[in-house]
Amino acid sequence: MLPFRQPKGVRRLSALSELKIGESGVLVALDLSESVQNHLMHMGFVPDARVKALRRAPAGDPTVYGVDGMEIALRRETAEAIQIQPALELPTELRAAGREDTPAPSLIEAAR
């Protein structure tokens, strides 16, 4: 579907493996076996966690992701089973102040 024809208010989901280096997403779901889900959840892959693609191996697989202060390498087949939505970018002044976990003022006002 073309971007301008997407209904407003609908979350666009994609696979974690689709993130480019430096991009972030918010974890929505793990479509993996229960044992793998539990293992990843213990490492910080929980709903609403912010995940960032940090670097990729020279051959393209695995990719190192940052989540909850940890760096975790995942193979492409595992990352394809993790659903994310695009992360909202924070205003520059919040990022510069090191307050990446603080919601943007416009988001707070919108929630009221």
Residues in CB range of 41: below 8 A, 6 or more apart: 30
Q: Is CATH 2.30.30.90 correct for 9-111? A: yes
d(CA 86, CA 66): 15
Q: What is the mean pLDDT of the chain?
A: 78
Helix (H, G, I), strand (E, B) or coil at 88: coil
What is the per-residue pLDDT across 19-67, written as a single tens digit (0 to 9) for each?
999 999 999 999 999 999 999 998 889 989 999 999 999 988 999 999 9
Mean pLDDT, to the nearest integer, of 88-109?
51
46 sits in the region (left: phi over 0; alpha: psi -120 to 50; else beta) called: beta
